[in-house]
Amino acid sequence: MRGAWLTAIARRVLRDQTFHLIAAPAIADLQFEGGARHYAAIWWVIVRALLHDMRSDVATSFGATARASVWPQTLTLFALLFTVMTFIALGNRIRLRAPDGTISRLPWPPLGDGLEPLLAGLLVSMALAAAGYATLTFSFALRRRHAPARTVLVGTLCLAAFVYGAARATRPLIYTAELYRSAAIARSGIGAPASRPLSEIVGDDTARRRTGLVERPDMWQQFARWREQRAALTVLVSSLLGATLARWQGLGVLLRAVAILATANALRGAIPWLTVLFWPANSPRPSPTLEQLPAFLMLPLVTVAFLAFDLFATRRRRAAA
Amino acid sequence: MPEKLPSISATESLILDLLEPRERFGLELIAQSNGQLKRGSVYVTLARMEAKGFVESRQEDRAAGAIGLPRRLYTPTPYGLKVRDAYRLLRDALALKPAEAR
């Protein structure tokens, strides 16, 4: 039958209502009287119908109803994560590794003019990380309100694109923060007095050369790229986890969340042992992305495994009933 | 809060003109429009008009055992025709008269 495979594709990619109102009449007309020109036009109809659906998906994810129900929960988690992570990071970032390998705990005041860029970089990093993890609530709440999986996917892709764009746009801010942080390390290394402004050391070639950041700007660029990609990937992974957890009720959600995170963490612990197989000791590493990706993939892989098991169990239960 | 006014495009107006005498299929509309309606866009426009309440549609009656998808027939609604006429009046009223042209 003419157009059978077009029907199959359209049914697969479009919502039921869109298929019946837009694609099906076009395909029916093709079956009635159509030629090559009509075939080409139907592809265009399907593309436009798909765009129509995507617009509805975006409206469902970010529209007035979502803003009243899904987004307050998401923003609450974001605010909570942002606050907690910022406090933890404030404690960690202040520990500076001196060139001789020792860890020195610098109090805030000696950072002087470096305080502002350091804080700005830290706040941006934490906001991006918190946004990634907060997507969990977004997909969880949407799925609980019976939003189709494709709506969650489109909404998540929009958020991932936004987070990636924000991470990419703030790269100079992070770079400045890292530069000042390196200058603080170098200041202790060259024995400069604590009263010497960091901005002077940043401009000083001797001090700049002592920092890894200036010696290997290519490495920093690679890490920056991976950090930006990871921010967007975290959005996707958190959304997958949220949508998966939405399948269960009550305490089951918490138990599954703990089980998934614990399993992923345990497997992540095995990564260094596996890494040896791919990159023996002292061998050059291809890139930070390839090096860190396996550990990053553990959470989505475990989540998919839990999801697949639940789908399989549900199907068996239904078959038995 | 004031109610949002309905809007109608030139294409939608043309479709209502073509549908007014009798209900038609999508392909018939394309054939009758002398090239003003395109195959790639007419079905999307019709779906949008249906969502706005300007047209109604139904699947064609088919003999038992017929294969393929049923075609869809479109009819204008009284509301659609009313909006079209109102916009036509508005356009006429706002059109620049020769005396007003500078």
Q: Does A21 touch chain B (CB under 8 A)?
A: yes
Report the sign of the C-alpha dihedral through residues A241, A247, A248, A250, in that order: positive
Q: Which residue of B has its CA nearest to A18?
A: B47
- Round to whole Å and give the CA distance between B91 and B72: 32
Segment A219-243 shows an average pLDDT of 91
Shortest CA gap B71–chain A (Å): 5
Segment A38-61 shows an average pLDDT of 89
Shortest CA gap A53–chain B (Å): 11
What element of type H or E holds B72?
strand B72-76
Asked if the Cβ–Cβ distance from B43 to A22 is below 8 Å, we say yes
The helix/strand/coil state of A63 is: coil
> Is pLDDT of B88 > 70?
yes
* Residues 6+ positions from B13 with CB-CB distance below 8 Å: B84, B87, B88
The helix/strand/coil state of B38 is: coil
ipTM: 0.84
Shortest CA gap A59–chain B (Å): 16
* Residues 6+ positions from A41 with CB-CB distance below 8 Å: A26, B38, B39, B40
pLDDT (0 to 100) of residue A151: 92
Q: Does A59 touch chain B (CB under 8 A)?
A: no
- A219: closest CA among A230, A231, A227, A208? A227
> Is pLDDT of A253 > 70?
yes
Asked if the Cβ–Cβ distance from A21 to B57 is below 8 Å, we say yes
Asked if the Cβ–Cβ distance from A44 to B47 is below 8 Å, we say no
- Round to whole Å and give the CA distance between A220 and A64: 41
Q: Which residue of B has its CA nearest to A40?
A: B40
Indicate the pLDDT class of residue B101, thresholds 50, 70 and 90.
Answer: low
* DSSP label of A166: H
Contact A257, A243 (CB under 8 A): no
Q: What is the mean pLDDT of chain A?
A: 84
The helix/strand/coil state of A108 is: coil
- Residue B57 has φ and ψ, to the nearest 5°, of -140, 160
Q: Which two tokens stand for residue A119?
A: 């804080």
User: Position A293: which residue type?
Assistant: L
- Give tens-digit pLDDT for B3-27: 778 899 999 999 999 999 999 999 8
pLDDT (0 to 100) of residue A201: 79
- Round to whole Å and give the CA distance between A137 and A141: 6
Asked if the Cβ–Cβ distance from B70 to A44 is below 8 Å, we say no
